């Protein structure tokens, strides 16, 4: 009788729990499970902004999960080379990766849309499109065949046009220019007569110093000063026509994500959203003070690209976007979605953001 009463009492406790704390195959409850994951990145370990973003993500996940999901972050080359992050996560070598989608256009051309496209959406607009304009759903559809689930996980805001060892006075100066510039921006430079190459961030200083490349774009003053590009390049050009709203990605192995309890899945999503905004805040705060140091202390020559060059680059970009949209049915839908969102965002921003910038200028 004592045994029967004990069993009935145990069953009563389980029924009162509402089934919220399930028992898994190991005999422990979901909320007792410990997950230890690896996160590989395309950035140098702890590099300001880009590299600290995934570190901050891991810390937030650890805190919010009370240590149930622990993530170890690996910088580029520590576990896999920078440009093997996509495959490593797709194949399950690591559960997570952090990088930029335009590195993977060799696998899916439309991936370029989800970092940044020339003369496209800025950071504020990218966030709006991804989270409220259908962009994230299209991104996940594109990555589905690779067993990956992407999240937006960082943005640097409008970037610089880059570092050059020759002045750019006309389109003739682009011809023969060997420049590190990935994504669609690189394709535009190539069509304009230059030569685009993709080189990992940690190798750029030496490539510029030794003359392997004539120019490079990386990010913006906050990051560029950290890599010392002012020591190996003469001119610093703006505006960043090629990357107006560069979104960084967190990619998660789909099978691994499915093994997490629902609350941990929600924590991953929430931490990614937090880091996405936090990184943009950091660059907004740090870029100008770094630019002042580059110009006033290091004597960098800050230059604006000529209007003629901007017009021609815009024209070429438009042609290439049309071609990209014809690559596949999904590419067409992504291109149409981004274009439609940019059109309505631009219409409103002309009387809000843009009008305000003009209004606060000192005459």
CATH number of 162-242+299-342: 3.40.190.10
- Distance between alpha carbon 58 and the CA centroid of its chain, in Å? 16
CB 111 within 8 A of CB 102: yes
CB 114 within 8 A of CB 92: no
Segment 282-325, tens digit of pLDDT: 999 999 999 999 999 999 999 999 999 999 999 999 999 999 99
CB 174 within 8 A of CB 193: yes
Domain 31-155+245-284 and domain 162-242+299-342 have a common topology: yes
What confidence tier does 31 reach under pLDDT thresholds 50, 70, 90? confident
Architecture of domain 31-155+245-284: 3-Layer(aba) Sandwich (3.40)
Verify cis geometry, omega within 30 degrees of 0, for the bond prior to 239: yes
Give the H/E segment covering residue 325: helix 307-325
Q: Which neighbouring-strand residues pair with 301?
A: 235
Task: Write down the domain spans for the chain.
Answer: 31-155+245-284, 162-242+299-342
pLDDT over 60 at 256, yes or no: yes
- pTM here is 0.89
Segment 58-115, tens digit of pLDDT: 999 999 999 999 999 999 999 999 999 999 999 999 999 999 999 999 999 999 999 9
CB 182 within 8 A of CB 199: no
Alpha helices in 91-160, H assignment, sequence order:
123-132, 135-143
């Amino acid at each position: 009788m004592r045994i029967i009463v004990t069993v009935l009492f145990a069953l009563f406790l389980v029924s009162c729990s509402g089934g919220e704390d399930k028992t898994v195959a190991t005999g422990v409850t979901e909320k007792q499970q410990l997950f230890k994951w690896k996160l590989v990145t395309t950035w140098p370990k702890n590099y300001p902004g880009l590299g600290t973003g995934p570190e901050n993500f891991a810390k937030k996940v650890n805190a919010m999960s009370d240590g149930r999901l622990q993530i170890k972050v690996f910088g580029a080359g520590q576990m896999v080379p920078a440009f093997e992050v996509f495959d490593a996560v797709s194949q399950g070598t690591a559960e997570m990766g952090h990088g930029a989608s335009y590195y993977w256009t060799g696998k899916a051309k439309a991936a370029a849309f989800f970092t940044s496209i020339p003369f496209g959406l800025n950071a504020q607009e990218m966030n709006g499109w991804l989270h409220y304009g259908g962009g994230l759903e299209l991104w996940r559809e594109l990555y589905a065949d690779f067993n990956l689930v992407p999240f937006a996980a960082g943005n640097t805001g409008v970037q610089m046009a880059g570092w050059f060892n020759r002045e750019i006075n006309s389109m003739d100066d682009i011809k023969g220019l060997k420049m590190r510039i990935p994504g669609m921006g690189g394709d535009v430079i190539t069509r304009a007569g230059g030569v685009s190459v993709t080189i990992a961030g940690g190798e750029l200083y030496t490539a510029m110093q030794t003359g392997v490349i004539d120019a490079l774009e990386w990010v913006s003053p906050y990051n560029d000063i950290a890599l010392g590009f002012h020591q190996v390049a003469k001119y610093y050009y703006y505006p960043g026509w090629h990357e107006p709203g560069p979104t960084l990605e967190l990619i998660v192995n789909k099978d691994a994500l499915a093994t997490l309890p629902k609350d941990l899945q929600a924590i991953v999503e929430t931490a990614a959203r937090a880091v996405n905004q936090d990184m943009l805040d950091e660059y907004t705060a740090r870029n100008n003070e770094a630019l002042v140091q580059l110009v006033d202390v290091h004597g960098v020559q800050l230059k604006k690209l000529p209007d003629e060059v901007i017009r021609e680059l815009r024209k070429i970009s438009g042609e290439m976007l049309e071609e990209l949209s014809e690559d596949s049915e999904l590419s067409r839908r992504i291109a149409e979605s981004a274009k439609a969102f940019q059109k309505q965002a631009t219409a409103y921003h002309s009387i809000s953001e843009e009008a305000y910038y003009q209004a606060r200028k000192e005459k």
